[in-house]
Structure 1
Amino acid sequence: MNLLRPLYEGIFGTTAHWNYHAWLMFTIWIVLIPAVLLLTRFGKPAPTLEGIPKGSAKLGRKLFWFTMHRVGLSALATASVVGGLVAIAANGGFSATLHSVFGIATVVLSVMQIVSAWFRGSHGVSKTVASVTAEPPATHGDHYDMTARRRWFEAYHKTVGWVTVASALGAVTTGLSQYWVSGMGTVMASLAVLYALIAVVLEARGYRHDTYMSNFGTGAHHPFNRQRIEEMSRQ
């Protein structure tokens, strides 16, 4: 028995309003999440010698990209869970369609992305160049030291993030093949072209910055910078 069905009927009535589900998930996964991913990729401040100062405002220019990535994507993933539950309630349960498989995979993967963020480890704070030889030393952390924990987190989080987006595209396209929503296909194609052009332009103009250097600085005394320099010297 679908326990969600009575709740759905109490809000929407007995008719399955698939257009509500379609536009909600389309807005989340085709409009907003790609926009946040573009901001994450190209919105980091240009690296400086000392990086982003400790205590910078979370909604300030330097950390706006990170706040939107963490809070924005978490909120959108939560909204997609709600959208998925609404669809299950309207349908009277799970279906075995390809759209349902892609949709459930997308929602599950998005939740796993939120959960994985709990395992990213500590951030750490670097010491400034002026005090590089002073005591006490920098506050070390998984990100600052790029520990194995942080490396595994980034490898998982980035890879699964793109897999989730691909799954969402599959869900939307198979959904449209089942239930065509006028204008949605045109908007989807237009956004794909627009976002691709934005990415190309921003990439060409040098707006994609190294996350570690943007956060902690370009100095060779930072652990991960030093490690990369040593690796390059051995090549």
Structure 2
Amino acid sequence: MTNTPTHIATEVYIGALGRSVETHWDYHAYLMFFVWAVLVPLCITIMRFHKPPPSPKGIRRDVSLWHREWWFFSVHKYGLFFAMFLAVGGGIVAYIASGGFSGSVHAYFGSLTLLMGLGQINSSQMRGSRGGKYRVGADPDDSTTWQGDQYNHTPRRRMFEAVHRTCGYFTFVFAIGAIGSGLMQFTLPILTGLFLATMLAWLIAWVLYEYFERAYDGYRVAHGYGLEHPYNKDREFL
């Protein structure tokens, strides 16, 4: 059962159809719940906690959707692309159904979430080249073939990691605010219960992942854990 406040539009006029269409805000709510409370955390969790353990030579083949050892990265990348496709679509439909920007707390949180999410997609282009001493195509005896933004941990790579990771945290914070404020203005008891249960489940899962130390260092996973690699050498005593 839902309880729709009087200030929320219950139908929208579609000029192309020549008639008004009933709005189903519960569809919007369930879609955004799936995107921001299930799909996005899942893609982040897989990227952070499901990398393979570091090895002497790391992952030798370059990133590819078709290489099994990079499955965690592929899920993170393409899963979040799909999540943003759904979120933007849901946001556009909500904007049209509301007759424009409503100015509510939920509208602000939702808009900030979408903007930050799109910014994350854009910031992924800052990633730079990979490089690596043992990657396929490099000569272990010729350092000129090892060069890459990730391998050498260049300023570009450091900027990418600082922006992409930090903004990702804030995007998730805004998303939780959007879901919470949406549920406050549009009563959906079942979804509220699902939301609270899902957040508790993620909390327990992340605590267990951290307890079992599954957050492997991405650089060591990609290139190996030896001190011959520049960024490992820089962190020798860390």
> Into which bin does the TM-score normalised by the smaller protein fall?
0.7 to 0.9
- Which letter maps to 1:111? L
Corresponding position of 1:149: 156
Equivalent of residue 26 in structure 1, options 33, 40, 46: 33
- Map Cα deviations across residues 170-226 of structure 1 (whole Å, 9 max, x no partner): 000000111112311111111111111111112222211001001111011111011
Corresponding position of 1:120: 127
Find the residue that maps to 1:14 and give its secondary structure. Answer: strand
1:197 aligns with 2:204: yes
For residue 156 of structure 1, report the CA deviation from its aligned partner. Answer: 0.6
- Which letter maps to 1:203? E
- Map Cα deviations across residues 73-129 of structure 1 (whole Å, 9 max, x no partner): 11101210111000001111111100000000000110010011112211113237x
Equivalent of residue 67 in structure 1, options 61, 74, 84: 74
The structure with the largest helix share of the pair is: 1
How far apart in 2 are the matches of 1:48 and 1:111? 34
- Which letter maps to 2:199? A
TM-score after normalising by structure 2 = 0.87
How far apart in 2 are the matches of 1:7 and 1:71? 33
- The CA RMSD measured in Å over matched residues stands at 2.1
Corresponding position of 2:8: none
For residue 60 of structure 1, report the CA deviation from its aligned partner. Answer: 4.6
Once structures 1 and 2 are overlaid, which stretch shifts more, 46-55 or 101-110? 46-55
Q: How does 1:71-110 map to 2 (within 5 A)?
A: 71-110=78-117
After superposition, the Cα gap between the structure-2 partners of 1:16 and 1:56, relative to the gap in structure 1 and judged at 3 Å, is: closer
How far apart in 2 are the matches of 1:190 and 1:139? 47
For residue 67 of structure 1, report the CA deviation from its aligned partner. Answer: 0.5
Corresponding position of 1:135: 142
1:14 aligns with 2:27: no
Equivalent of residue 162 in structure 1, options 159, 169, 184: 169
How far apart in 2 are the matches of 1:20 and 1:9? 22
For residue 57 of structure 1, report the CA deviation from its aligned partner. Answer: 5.5
Percent sequence identity over matched residues? 34
How far apart in 2 are the matches of 1:8 and 1:156? 42
Corresponding position of 2:5: none
Find the residue that maps to 1:62 and give its secondary structure. Answer: helix
**Is contact 2:54-2:225 (8 Å) kept?**
yes
Gaps of 5+ in 2: 1-11
**Is contact 2:14-2:20 (8 Å) kept?**
no
1:48 aligns with 2:61: no
1:225 aligns with 2:238: no
- Which letter maps to 2:207? V
TM-score after normalising by structure 1 = 0.88
**Is contact 1:125-1:141 (8 Å) kept?**
yes
After superposition, the Cα gap between the structure-2 partners of 1:176 and 1:218, relative to the gap in structure 1 and judged at 3 Å, is: same
How far apart in 2 are the matches of 1:176 and 1:9? 31
How far apart in 2 are the matches of 1:7 and 1:75? 27
How far apart in 1 are the matches of 2:13 and 2:148? 49
Gaps of 5+ in 1: none
How far apart in 2 are the matches of 1:213 and 1:60? 18
For residue 23 of structure 1, report the CA deviation from its aligned partner. Answer: 0.7
After superposition, the Cα gap between the structure-2 partners of 1:61 and 1:196, relative to the gap in structure 1 and judged at 3 Å, is: farther
- Map Cα deviations across residues 115-171 of structure 1 (whole Å, 9 max, x no partner): 11112211113237xx74x23643311111100111011101001001000000000
1:181 aligns with 2:178: no
